[in-house]
Amino acid sequence: MLNQPKIKKLHYLLLSASLISFAILSCSQTKSKGPESPTGYDLSKPEKYGMPDILQEISGIAFNKGDNKIVYAEMDEDGALFSLPLGTKDETKTKFGKKGDYEDVAIAKGWVVMLKSNGDLYSFPLSETKNAEVTKVTETTGLFPKGDYEGLFADETTGNVYVLCKTCKQDKDTKVTSGYILTLQSDGTLKSTGNFSIDVSQVDQLSGKKKGTFHPSALAVNPITKEWYIVSSVNKALVVADSKWKIKAVYHLSSNEFNQPEGIAFDSAGNLYISNEGSETTVGNILRFDYKKP
């Protein structure tokens, strides 16, 4: 028979064990996996649009004023802009420059802006996309530090153009990604008006996966929430940040659906589109995720 001191000791041990179990459970719940898709979207159920062979290496995509009837796209290595009715392979090709590593496209105020990986920008009237070749292109160079640039977005309302570093020397060994703001002038020229930075130190923690160094490929503003959506192909991640660039959430992009996510755009209804380069076994495509109000 247990004496009183031993009974008290047993009760103490049982209580301690219960408290430890509760703490472990609470900790696991705190670190539990968050939602797999941004509010209003389901990243596991896309509508898929296969691209024509010439857009096997599709990179950036854009719409004019959020109209999803025509998608504008570009591919690596070719100084041309492609336009096609979404859901078809009837592309129109408009040559604007020499061969090179072009990464993204943006449209605002009736102008097309193209981004080269070295940070050079090319602008021309959207009306020129009806022609086989652009008659006059405005080239803007030397605005940014040397680096690798892939993300470009133009705001139709303000005329602001945002360029985001993929890999830049000033960001090396930091947890910061640099970006630059330009203003699109009425003649298609671009004027530097500011810069911004994104603290990406919490990308791993928020994603629940080890993502490593963040290398963004594309960005766009969600017209419904006014949040920034940023794609990183290398990390297979979709980052959502507020209007001041503070990261709110990170979502993993499954290789089952996202072969190589390189471009992002929204239509005026808030539907999300992400373009993927193809491979030997997969055609280049655009994935559409319909917005459903929570």
Tens digits of residue pLDDT in 223-244: 999 999 999 988 889 999 999 9
Q: What is the pTM of this model?
A: 0.87
Count of H-run helices and E-run strands, the chain? 2, 20
Decide if pLDDT at 22 tops 60: no
By the 8 A CB rule, do 103 and 121 touch? no
Q: Residue 5: pLDDT band by 50, 70, 90 thresholds? A: low
d(CA 234, CA 106): 22
Measured CA to CA, the distance from residue 149 to residue 46 in angstroms comes to 28
- pLDDT, position 6: 52
Rounded to whole angstroms, the Cα distance separating 273 from 288 reads 5
Is the predicted pLDDT of residue 109 greater than 90, yes or no? yes
Please give the pLDDT value at position 183: 97
Q: Between 260 and 29, whose confidence is greater?
A: 260
Tens-digit pLDDT profile for residues 128-173:
999 999 999 999 999 999 999 999 999 999 999 999 999 988 888 8
Residue 11: is its pLDDT beyond 60? no
d(CA 194, CA 144): 11
pLDDT at 10: 47
User: Nearest to residue 118, comparing CAs of 81, 166, 80, 71?
Assistant: 166
pLDDT in tens, 241-290: 999 999 999 999 999 899 999 999 999 999 999 999 998 888 999 999 99
Mean pLDDT of the residues in the chain: 88
Residue 77: predicted pLDDT = 82
pLDDT digits (tens, 9 = 90+) for 37-71: 999 999 999 999 999 999 999 999 999 999 999 99
